[in-house]
Amino acid sequence: MTRMLLIGPPGSGKGTQAERISDRLGIVAISTGDIFRFNVKEQTPLGIEAKKYIDAGDFVPDSVTNSMVRDRLAQDDAREGFLLDGYPRTVAQVEYLDDILAETGLQLDVVLQLTADDEELVHRLLGRAKETGRSDDNEGVIRHRLELYHTQTEAVVSRYDERGILTKVDGIGAIDEVTERVLAAIKNGAADLA
């Protein structure tokens, strides 16, 4: 059973790599961003509330995000392992996730951090915005999201580094190259998970 977290700044390729890793390891990828976008599209109460924060480039409040993650991790397909993408993003969320997992005697096995230069990320996200028409991808919002990542999420990275379960992987390059780096990091850093 593999329980892992993929973390990195916006535009670092987390979603793409999460999909590929979950396929290779046979575990479900759980993306809070995908769940939020689904709810926004369906105009659910969660989606309407979340859209205000997403469009401003802010994080959706912990109260909404935490309960959503708790419900998702309780589903049958997550019992044999999972890959979290986009959660936790704050130290408070790390503690909440620890509590959820501790209730069933579990903990995270590995945390992979995709790294990338901010200017490269801005370039990538502006290109994605042109292709997809995402309302949350304009330069001001992108830079705000990167600033939030650096000020809030890097504390999450430090917490997992202190626990000795963090592995950093260069997120720049062709998709296949990054996937191979990620899989090699899993094999080298946590051989029992590969």
The set of catalytic residues is 14, 89, 128, 134, 145
Is 16 one of the annotated binding-site residues? yes
Structure tokens given for 26: 């046979």
Q: Which stretches of the chain are DSSP H helices?
A: 14-25, 32-42, 45-56, 62-73, 91-102, 118-132, 139-148, 154-163, 175-189
Q: Is 145 annotated among the ligand-binding residues?
A: yes
63 is in an annotated binding site: no
Which two structure tokens, joined as six digits, stand for 18? Answer: 């999460």
Tell me the chain's radius of gyration from C-alpha atoms: 16
Q: Is 156 among the annotated ligand-binding positions? A: no
Say whether 13 counts as a known binding-site residue. yes
Q: Is 140 annotated among the ligand-binding residues?
A: no
Known binder of ligand: residue 12?
yes
How many residues in total does the chain contain?
194
Three-state secondary-structure class, residue 176: helix
Annotated binding site for ATP: which residue ranges? 11-16, 128, 173
Annotated binding site: which residue ranges? 11-16, 32, 37, 58-60, 86-89, 93, 128, 134, 145, 173
Annotated binding site for AMP: which residue ranges? 32, 37, 58-60, 86-89, 93, 134, 145
